Amino acid sequence: MNDRDVVIISFARTPFGKFGGALKDAPATDLASMAIAEAMRRSGIDTKAVEALYAGIGMIGANVLTAARQALLLGSGLSETVPSMSVDRACCSGMTAIGLGFKDIRNGGADVVVCGGFDSLSNTPYLWPRQRGIRPGKVDVSDPLLLRADFLDKAIACYTGEEAERMGVDRQQQDEWAVESHRKYFTAEALGYYAAERFAVDHVGTTLASDESPRADASLEKLARLKTVYSSPTVTPGNAPGLNDGAAFLMLSSRRFARVHGLTPLAQIVDYVQVAGGPTSGSTTPAVAIDRLLERSGKREGDIARFEINEAFAATPLVSTLVLANGDRGKADALRERTNKAGGAVAIGHPLGASGARLVMTLANGMRREGSGLGVAAICGGYGQGDGMMVAVE
């Protein structure tokens, strides 16, 4: 332990709403402001001590100019003199924001930073390109929620399914993982697991206290009847998360600040890495990030008590654990028993910018419930990017 250790003092997230659900009328910046304020309230830290806000946004800046700055000013409780930064690293954005705060504190550039992410996919607008010239002509309107890139000419769901099949991860395995994600979520929910993370949101007469997407009646029979999407060989609406709305933020401080102010850390952030690969390598980048963390720490997979791998699709943790196991299916199965033990994004939902931060708080939450040890969270995002974070609970 040393004074520049980076510790988590508090965390808070909104319930994750369905696309067009209870939070559809709440702007992304409002959701972020509420989550920042709640994380601050839970921390007991004076708002004057906060030195920066880093916020990840996964989908076109939450549709506003300087989204993080607007969230700060809308009622977060933070001073208008606090600098902020909006981070765009697709689904990695929320974890990247925490990584920026981690680096600031570890390197002595700050003592208290608020980090996290948010998105309202229900409010993501269509894109109508600005017209050039004066002649009449065809106008094409595009929907960014199709999650595809012109340079690939296929949707993420399509190439994810293709890469999963190349790894021997078929539709059946993905459906099985998806059903388990819902089952594990409800088991954890019954034990009060997510009550430590969530707070109820009241907006324009609507109150949401729990996540909207989890389905208690999810079954293999129901998932098997679903058609695949976007020409994917395996991905369906049942083995992928929905398009969601939500925000998640954490309060980070140096160990010295926590000690001087009588604060009890929830966990320590040990290390953080960013990785990138080919544009269709998303299902493997969490494994690459985890390997990098293990190498830097001198640890092995067996030293990690708990893994959180974002379920961008059910295929993602299945492929990544197989890569971590070097293709050994028995070893992969053993890793999967320690992965997403309270369910994952297929059940909870995936507001792109918030998910990386949600993973870190879910990891710290789970580690605290289990006792001391090491845990790792990893996420893929945006055409071959990945982030990983190692967390310790003392």
So which residues are the catalytic ones?
A: 91, 350, 380
| CA 66, chain centre distance (Å) | 20
- Is the separation of the CB atoms in 115 and 97 below 8 Å? yes
What is the maximal distance between C-alpha atoms in the chain? 68
Which residue bears the tokens 């790792």?
376
Selection from 150, 375, 191 nearest residue 268 by Cα: 375
Helices 156-166, 315-324: axis angle to 10 degrees equals 40
How far apart CA 224 and CA 175 sit, in angstroms, is: 7
Residue type, 256: R
CA dihedral 347, 270, 105, 253 (to 10 degrees): 60
User: What is the arrangement of strands in the sheet containing 6-13, beginning at the earlier edge strand?
Assistant: 84-87, 52-57, 112-120, 245-254, 6-13, 267-276, 385-393, 373-381, 304-309
Q: In whole angstroms, how far apart are CA 121 and each of 148, 231, 311?
A: 15, 22, 17
Selection from 256, 319, 307 nearest residue 282 by Cα: 319
- What does the DSSP 8-state code read for residue 130? P
Structure tokens at 187: 């088991």
CA atoms within 13 Å, Cβ hemisphere of 279: 10
